[in-house]
C-alpha cells in the first residue's frame, strides 16, 4: 500500500468522526499514542511495538488529513535523501538534530 492509499483508507474509515472531533483534540490523541509507543519500545513485546507504530502512523495521517496535508507530498521532501544536504547518508554537521 502506498502512503496515499493509506491516507485515503484512513480518511474513508475515520474521516467523518475525525472531522467532528477536530484538529486540536485529534492532536492530543496522537500525543497519547506516541506515549504508548514509547512504553512499547521500552518493553519486550514486538507485536505490541508493531501495533503502536501502526497506531501512531494512523493518527499522524489523520492529523495530516484534517490539516489538508497530502502525506505523499510530505514524504517527497525526503525523496532525494536529506532535505538539507541531499545526501544519503546525511552529511549535515548537525545530524542528530533532524529529520
Q: What is the mean pLDDT of residues 21-39?
A: 98
CB atoms within 10 A of CB 25: 11
- Please write the tens of the pLDDT for every residue from 71-85: 999 999 999 999 999
Please give the pLDDT value at position 93.
77
> What kind of architecture, by CATH, is found in domain 3-97?
Orthogonal Bundle (1.10)
- Please write the tens of the pLDDT for every residue from 40-57: 999 999 999 999 999 999
Amino acid at each position: 500500500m502506498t502512503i496515499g492509499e493509506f491516507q485515503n483508507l484512513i480518511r474513508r474509515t475515520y474521516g467523518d468522526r475525525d472531522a467532528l472531533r477536530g484538529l486540536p483534540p485529534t492532536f492530543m490523541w496522537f500525543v497519547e499514542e506516541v506515549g504508548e509507543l514509547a512504553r512499547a519500545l521500552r518493553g519486550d513485546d514486538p507485536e505490541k511495538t508493531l501495533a503502536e507504530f501502526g497506531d501512531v502512523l494512523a493518527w499522524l495521517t489523520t492529523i495530516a488529513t484534517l490539516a489538508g496535508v497530502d502525506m505523499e507530498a510530505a514524504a517527497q521532501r525526503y525523496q532525494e535523501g536529506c532535505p538539507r544536504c541531499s545526501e544519503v547518508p546525511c552529511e549535515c554537521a548537525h545530524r542528530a538534530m533532524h529529520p
